[in-house]
Amino acid sequence: MSLYYIRRVKFIDDQPRIVEDSYMPVALFPDLNISTLQKSKFDYVEHEKGMLIQGSRQEFTAVDSDEEIMALLGMEKSHPIMNLRSISNLEDGRYFDYTEAWFHPNAHKLAIYLSRKREHRKPVFP
């Protein structure tokens, strides 16, 4: 299987804040190009390719930053940074994107609301 390897550095207020490495199958996206990747990959998949995205499994962890990622994020000294690994699939079950991203420590906050409504509680196991 042939894959595109895509590295994007995303800026917030003119500062590099996210480094994103993605892998996408060439067979599903033979017309993928740089101008497409300057926008949302998911918007491209849904609106330009007409594919239905079912969802993404995402895993967040804190990791030690390496020199290359630190340089791309404009960091001078090593700090733990947030890492995201995500695998996305279409409604028909095909995987179409694997992404690993690193976030500048000053750029993001993760907030979650957990409902405790008893009538909606069901055990969920990974």
For a pLDDT cut of 90, what percent of the chain falls above it? Answer: 72
Rounded distance between C-alpha atoms, residue 31 and residue 110, angstroms: 34
Given a contact cutoff of 8 angstroms between Cβ atoms, the answer to whether 62 and 40 are in contact is: no
Q: Which domains does the chain have, with CATH numbers?
A: 3-120 (3.40.1410.10)
For CA atoms 96, 101, 106, 112, give the dihedral sign: positive
Which has the closest alpha carbon to 85: 68, 110, 73, 102?
Answer: 102
CA distance 88 to 50: 16
Query: What are the tens digits of pLDDT across the range 107-123?
Result: 777 777 766 665 555 55
Give dist(CA 67, CA 62) in Å, integer: 16
The pLDDT tens digits for 38-64 are 999 999 999 999 999 999 999 999 998
